[in-house]
Structure 1
């Protein structure tokens, strides 16, 4: 008789995202439509706070940050003490759909432990 698989044991841990305050909230809505766990700065009362507060929240909650703020990339160049940063320069003016598609690729391809301390450009996921 074939051995049945325990689906819970097979489920891999998935990336959870935190969107900084400059990201269109529609990105979170669309990610949730794909059953992705995501928080926004508005939802967790992080509007107008220093970037380090976002990093501390993401670290505490086990989340990868998605941002269009270059300050996060500067921080990441000096420290790997974060759970991952996905960056898309504001100058690229990506649509909500492009951002969601890139984050879906990352979510499907990477495990949380692979993102820890790593900074990825969204364009890498879209190419």
Structure 2
């Protein structure tokens, strides 16, 4: 099923203000706190994001690059992972808005983006 708009899932390392800023712009964003997934492992976080049809946003580059590589090798699908350098919530939200306004959910599938 094709999808136009990216739905985001922010892991617990990402400031919840990012979600608030994006929600204020009308985007569908869920945090680990919203989803009751605090303290879940990285693999559980990604599996949850996939089960909900959401792209995952994280600061945890090292662990998620390895996890995504394992998905690639085993030909497992995901909805996209966005790896964000630690910046202010406003800056991260602005960088996410560029993706949200220019990339479809279908285009982000199985992709990794760096912001």
TM-score (structure 1 length as normaliser)? 0.80
Partner residue of 2:69 out of 58, 74, 77: 77
Give the length in aligned residue pairs.
Answer: 108
Q: Distance in 2 between matches of 1:49 and 1:60?
A: 15
Q: Distance in 2 between matches of 1:39 and 1:53?
A: 15
> What secondary structure, in the 3-state scheme, does the structure 1 residue paired with 2:57 have?
strand
**Match for residue 21 of structure 1?**
12
Q: Distance in 2 between matches of 1:96 and 1:59?
A: 24
Deviations 1:63-101 (A, max 9, x none): 000100121122112324311000023xxx311111001
Partner residue of 1:102 out of 89, 95, 99: 95
Partner residue of 1:56 out of 47, 51, 54: 47
Partner residue of 2:36 out of 45, 49, 74: 45
Q: Name structure 2 gaps, 5 residues minimum.
A: none
- The structure, 1 or 2, with the larger RCO (C-alpha pairs under 8 Å, 6+ apart) is 2
8 A Cα contact 2:7 2:53, kept in partner: yes
Bigger-Rg structure (1/2): 1
**Match for residue 8 of structure 1?**
none
Structure 1 vs Structure 2 CA RMSD: 1.2
Q: Distance in 1 between matches of 2:68 and 2:100?
A: 20
